[in-house]
């Protein structure tokens, strides 16, 4: 298991993760960090747990993993950004995650719009999910929280049964991985990428180019609407997925749930 002292001693970052809370078990790292953010916690605050009992992903989906098997953490940022730039943080996190996971496993890592990291042979399986939450004041960012749930040391029989089965870094690498080393490298990569974003360097082009959705048929499930399909053809400046419908029109998809389908 991890501990606050062990994490603090291993970090190489200047500010990211330097204020931290560790819990052997916690309902949700995002929920706890939102409480801290509202109380004035500094930028860079890290909340991490070895077991999350009420973890959630996008659209309220549950995120579950056996105790001590994954990396489950949330980070607090307080950039002086307009609200529309908040999506950069999801992009930064995905790109940093891709690079670090590839380094530690030696295997290709793929990004799936809007917030998943995948691995393994096609059609690829989910390794990690990213969940961003925000507080805005007058259309500017007050704070941003980015949570990550990452399957690290899970065997095939420990993975949850799902319509789209996940995978783990252990299965990709063929061996257990050091969770502390992963965390240290992730935070270092995040701090570097965030520094570039603070200088106005957009991650949009790199993130968009890395998405595996592009060129594939996707099924769009709008909230309260009828599903429809089209070909994913890119993203717009706000990170929405652009989908070409059968009539040739292109629609930007943001809140809808998108699931991949093979090309017709």
The CA-to-CA distance between both ends of the chain, in Å, stands at 47
- What pLDDT, in 10s, does the model give residues 215-224? 989 888 887 7
- What pLDDT, in 10s, does the model give residues 159-214? 877 767 799 999 999 999 999 999 999 999 999 999 999 999 999 999 999 999 88
Q: Name the E strands within the chain.
A: 20-23, 46-49, 70-77, 110-112, 116-119, 125-137, 140-151, 217-221, 228-235, 241-244, 250-253, 257-261
Secondary-structure class of domain 213-261 per CATH = mainly beta
Q: What is the pTM of this model?
A: 0.92
Instruction: Give pLDDT, residue 66.
Output: 84
Average pLDDT over residues 71-94: 97
> Which sequence spans correspond to the domains of the chain?
4-206, 213-261
Helix, strand and coil percent figures for the chain, each rounded to 5:
30, 30, 40
- What pLDDT, in 10s, does the model give residues 123-143? 899 999 999 999 999 999 999
Looking at the DSSP assignment, which residues form a beta bridge with residue 143? 135
Q: Residue 208 CA to chain centroid, in angstroms?
A: 15
Who contacts 131 (Cβ-Cβ below 8 Å, separation ≥6)?
Answer: 30, 56, 57, 58, 115, 146, 147, 148, 149
Closest to 216 in 3D by CA, of 131, 122, 102: 122
Secondary-structure class of domain 4-206 per CATH = alpha beta
């Amino acid at each position: 298991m991890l501990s606050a002292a062990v994490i603090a001693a291993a970090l190489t970052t200047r500010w990211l993760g330097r204020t931290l809370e560790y819990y052997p078990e916690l309902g949700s790292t995002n929920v706890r960090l939102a409480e801290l953010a509202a109380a004035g916690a500094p930028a860079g605050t890290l909340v991490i747990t070895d077991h999350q009992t009420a973890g959630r992903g996008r659209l309220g989906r549950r995120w579950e993993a056996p105790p001590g098997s994954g990396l489950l953490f949330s980070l607090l940022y307080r950039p002086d950004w307009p609200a529309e730039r908040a999506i950069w943080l999801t992009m930064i996190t995905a790109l940093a995650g891709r690079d670090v996971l590839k380094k530690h496993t030696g295997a290709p890592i793929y990004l799936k719009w809007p917030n998943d990291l995948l691995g393994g042979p096609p059609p690829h399986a989910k390794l990690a999910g990213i969940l961003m939450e925000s507080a805005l004041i007058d259309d500017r960012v007050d704070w941003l929280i980015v949570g990550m749930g990452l399957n690290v040391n899970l065997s095939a029989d420990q993975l949850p049964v799902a319509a789209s089965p996940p995978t783990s870094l252990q299965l990709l690498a063929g061996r257990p991985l050091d969770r502390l080393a992963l965390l240290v490298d992730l935070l270092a990569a995040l701090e570097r990428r965030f520094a570039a974003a603070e200088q106005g360097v957009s991650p949009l082009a790199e993130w968009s180019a890395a998405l595996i959705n592009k060129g594939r048929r996707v099924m769009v499930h709008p909230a309260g609407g009828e599903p429809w399909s089209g070909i994913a053809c890119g993203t717009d400046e706000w990170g929405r997925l652009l989908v070409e419908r059968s009539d040739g029109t292109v629609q930007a998809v943001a809140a809808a749930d998108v699931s991949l389908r093979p090309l017709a």
